[in-house]
Structure 1
């Protein structure tokens, strides 16, 4: 008997946030079969322990005879003496709103496969079918999986890697299709929104065309964009031939919100090539039971974060000024975190499993994001290539060559050294200083790079001497609570704690919004002391804190007034601007 794995997916109590699963297995006639649930999902580097949502696991033979099934570790169920044809039933509680986790309610179901489907130990490469028992109150299924011809609501994956990379949106979503670069694209909008279908189709088609031009070819036969519209949200997760986005439902009706949505589309679509196919060693083939480490997320997420806004500039969705503001925000986010003096971007990539998705009150002091810092270094690499090649090459050429060599030809993961070597060979440039900066906390002289293309990188706060406590507070139930303290700030040095309630300053009780604290700081000079009455674990104590100068920066990227013709030419090449700008 040929072995087969078929899942039946049902919704008996969607209002209670459950999906009912039945796994039908044939052709594995052995002493026992171990069924596993992944502990993480590709693209989101955190151990999420999806098995915690699994309930009521039972097993039986095809004739109804009950089988023995029990857990042997946190995410593994063992079926004893299953025979050649058996069924496993289980329920998955699904009530976490994100692009990477299951959510089911009376209106729709979003299934993230890694948190939904079991796999048989040692059988990740086995083909699998999925049948959706579509309830009468829902009409549509949106997924990147291939439908099985002639069988309604049945889908096929050649292996579990493809299944785990193919989310499902099931419900009454608003769907339409358009063609871009000869490829059909399905839009699936979940929830109401202020979007314009025709405009979205036109604008996303421009993104698809530009990114296909960068990479040289488009790997898909079909692509699905699932967008969940919320009151307030922004984020996405890439998949092999689809993406799941979260957006504010009214973002489409204002220019900034719409440009940001298009940047999000550009970011996730860019991942079709950068990480889903051109990938680092360590990210594929996947081990779904433990962390999969790589120090290269600064390239695969950081470069993508650099390109998302750049592509919207190239497509005409942003002005030069708007783009430079979006770009410089990456620099300000990193350089205003004391963590940039503690954690390198290479270490940030490697430690994503324990830091990126688990921020705490000290995270700004101890870590940076490989998204932001990677985008900064991508920008420096791009400018360096353009300048050293006198405009003959840019970072686009490196990515296209890497994709061709390491995916289309060799189909393997890469390491940092060979990526750098290829970049330097293709563009005939020296990128040593930038790649060395990946593993140090020393910042590059960014202004030196921007000057070469006719721009300047200036700190608008450089001459400012503003007194500061160095804290962030929240106001809750009329209380002012410290939530973060900056490293080496006045509060850090003089002993304020996170979770301290500031009750009074200089003898004046704070109002519910803490305005007396702001007034006291603004009326003081650097070196002045503030007397703070704080409640710590319900006990009152008085502390004197000596104000220090704020170390916050506010960089801007502006054109050099005296730039040479060559600098302007190279700057136009960098930003894809027409000559004469």
Structure 2
């Protein structure tokens, strides 16, 4: 590609002057957001001198916290070199090779199209920019350990916030190396900003977007949350931490980072209690990651290979255990009640019981295959999830440790050992975990591991809950209702099937996803939900389901099964023993709820 075809003017990208305190080994980055309304960021990178005759400049193909190839280089255009005597060509989808006399260093310029809000990689508009360096800033293997100085050029009145060390002005940030840069996103724009201190550590909350949130309550609960880290770990790995919140019109999700987190929620999903628990639960999840993943990671994830998949069969511990431990912080911080916790646990148990994939894939296999995991109907029927099933095996393991140590040790102790003895650059593997478990309990965990991690876990929920004075309840009389195994959503012509549970009545009858149900027993389906229509039938009753498949009309007979008429609930038993009460307290930090008369 001829350099002459690149249209950027050099003076705009000259990085001298802005970075007066740097050394020759520093990598200097300028990100200009003058065309924010078009989602453009103009990037200039100055690399130090080298005796090499060529260097490979790369953009990661994935970002930390999301084990999925994202092909981030798809937003890079107009790549050019400041020195016209140098040459460059692209050697693969995310690598630019620069050749020539590099003894004076190299300055490169390129444009980034930043409109990936939901991916949490890069998003620029006229109100803000969210910059995860993995989708914006290139690196070389030779400069990965060098200091990176990032200077932003932003509209007036924009505020820039990051977990990175601040530079010589309010829009400059410094990272000791590329790995820290890539794990410390920057939020800049028109935003709401709060600062607070807990136990001598500084915290910041920055909120972009309007919504029905109560920022004062958010700050109060975040204060209570962050104080609970000591209930699991022996100390904190940071002096300053930033909570970034996006109140959006659709993007949802969150990502952990080294010294911060980004949380995205629909702008009107904060006010109701269930919605707020979703937010503060996510904040707790990402905060747990500050230790679990950001301080200690399984073998295969250290160091990160940004250009390809990083495999581990212990991702269930990195993610599922984090989901489990987040509630420990919420309960011990008096943010989540025991009743709310049990409602959450009941939903998880019910989801597990209706996931046939638990008999097709182990959590170890799901961890290794996370890079190619499928969701939706296939995922439920043939796979498990490192988050949900990882949560459940973490719970089973916690109860086993509590039982074997007479409540003196728990899964929390295991994670503190991982933090104290296996922090990066060290890693841990299955055998290390087995050694830690034997050390904590005095017993061999080979069989347990083979059954629950490398095998298909089959938790006895009744037995587990009984230890803590709890029981599963489906309401008075344990009534049953008709069940088909079908999930649907409205369609212009009826109800389109979104999933069919493997082994269910509908599965056995031959119904599948994307079939469009138009009638049952010859009468048109007018309801928005099939469950409402099924209330007219009884278990074991046969119904004729008429549907379109590939635009052709079909009819199949389904013999309905049965399922509990009421949702699964977890309640305290009426006369719990002192031992059961003590178990519940050791588990949650809370008193066992009283049974209402």
Q: Distance in 2 between matches of 1:53 and 1:496?
A: 41
Structure 1 residues 514 and 254: CA distance shift in structure 2, 3 A = closer
Structure 1 residues 33 and 506: CA distance shift in structure 2, 3 A = same
Q: CA deviation digits over 1:304-337, x for unaligned, max 9?
A: 1112123211111222111111122222222221
Match of 1:346 in 2: 364
Give the conservation status (yes or no) of the 8 Å contact 1:480–1:514.
yes
Match of 2:485 in 1: 470
Give the conservation status (yes or no) of the 8 Å contact 1:309–1:327.
no
Give the conservation status (yes or no) of the 8 Å contact 1:112–1:168.
yes
Choose which of 340, 350, 375 in structure 2 pairs with 1:359: 375
Q: 2:453 aligns to what SS in structure 1? A: helix
Verify: 1:537 aligned to 2:557, yes or no: no
Verify: 1:391 aligned to 2:407, yes or no: yes
Displacement of 1:553: 9.5
Q: Distance in 1 between matches of 2:491 and 2:482?
A: 25
Match of 1:502 in 2: 517
Choose which of 5, 13, 29 in structure 2 pairs with 1:7: 29
Q: Could you list the runs of 5+ residues in structure 2 that have no partner in the other structure?
A: 1-22
Give the conservation status (yes or no) of the 8 Å contact 1:457–1:555.
yes
Match of 2:9 in 1: none
Q: Distance in 1 between matches of 2:330 and 2:532?
A: 42
Please, which moves more after superposition, 225-234 or 98-107? Answer: 225-234
Displacement of 1:463: 5.0
Please, which moves more after superposition, 170-179 or 373-382? Answer: 373-382
Give the conservation status (yes or no) of the 8 Å contact 1:305–1:371.
yes
Q: Distance in 2 between matches of 1:342 and 1:392?
A: 36
Structure 1 residues 462 and 415: CA distance shift in structure 2, 3 A = farther
Match of 1:113 in 2: 133
Choose which of 81, 86, 93 in structure 2 pairs with 1:59: 81
Q: Distance in 2 between matches of 1:501 and 1:430?
A: 53
Match of 2:17 in 1: none
Structure 1 residues 86 and 35: CA distance shift in structure 2, 3 A = same
Structure 1 residues 254 and 525: CA distance shift in structure 2, 3 A = closer
Q: CA deviation digits over 1:437-457, x for unaligned, max 9?
A: 112224022322222222224
Structure 1 residues 394 and 542: CA distance shift in structure 2, 3 A = closer
Q: Distance in 2 between matches of 1:527 and 1:332?
A: 22
Q: CA deviation digits over 1:272-294, x for unaligned, max 9?
A: 11111121111110001111011
Q: 2:422 aligns to what SS in structure 1? A: helix
Structure 1 residues 551 and 297: CA distance shift in structure 2, 3 A = farther
Match of 2:245 in 1: 227
Q: 1:370 aligns to what SS in structure 2? A: coil
Structure 1 residues 233 and 429: CA distance shift in structure 2, 3 A = farther
Displacement of 1:376: 1.5
Match of 1:548 in 2: 561
Displacement of 1:415: 0.8
Give the conservation status (yes or no) of the 8 Å contact 1:309–1:326.
no
Choose which of 90, 100, 124 in structure 2 pairs with 1:81: 100
Match of 1:567 in 2: 580
Give the conservation status (yes or no) of the 8 Å contact 2:227–2:333.
no
Q: 2:116 aligns to what SS in structure 1? A: coil
Q: Distance in 2 between matches of 1:159 and 1:564?
A: 55
Q: Distance in 1 between matches of 2:169 and 2:59?
A: 27
Match of 1:483 in 2: 498
Q: 1:119 aligns to what SS in structure 2? A: coil
Give the conservation status (yes or no) of the 8 Å contact 1:306–1:327.
no
Q: Distance in 1 between matches of 2:564 and 2:508?
A: 14
Q: Could you list the runs of 5+ residues in structure 1 that have no partner in the other structure?
A: none
Q: 2:377 aligns to what SS in structure 1? A: coil
Give the conservation status (yes or no) of the 8 Å contact 1:33–1:82.
no
Choose which of 39, 56, 77 in structure 2 pairs with 1:34: 56
Structure 1 residues 406 and 227: CA distance shift in structure 2, 3 A = same
Match of 1:413 in 2: 427
Give the TM-score taking structure 1 as reference length: 0.91
Q: Distance in 2 between matches of 1:469 and 1:281?
A: 43
Q: CA deviation digits over 1:334-355, x for unaligned, max 9?
A: 2221111211111111111111
Please, which moves more after superposition, 394-403 or 16-25? Answer: 394-403
Alignment of 1:324-335 (within 5 A): 324-335=342-353
Q: 2:261 aligns to what SS in structure 1? A: strand
Structure 1 residues 232 and 153: CA distance shift in structure 2, 3 A = closer
Match of 2:221 in 1: 203
Give the conservation status (yes or no) of the 8 Å contact 2:64–2:183.
yes
Q: Distance in 2 between matches of 1:551 and 1:290?
A: 46
Verify: 1:95 aligned to 2:124, yes or no: no
Q: 1:566 aligns to what SS in structure 2? A: helix
Structure 1 residues 151 and 374: CA distance shift in structure 2, 3 A = same
Please, which moves more after superposition, 341-350 or 151-160? Answer: 151-160
Match of 1:577 in 2: 590
Choose which of 137, 150, 163 in structure 2 pairs with 1:144: 163
Structure 1 residues 478 and 541: CA distance shift in structure 2, 3 A = closer
Choose which of 5, 12, 23 in structure 1 pairs with 2:45: 23
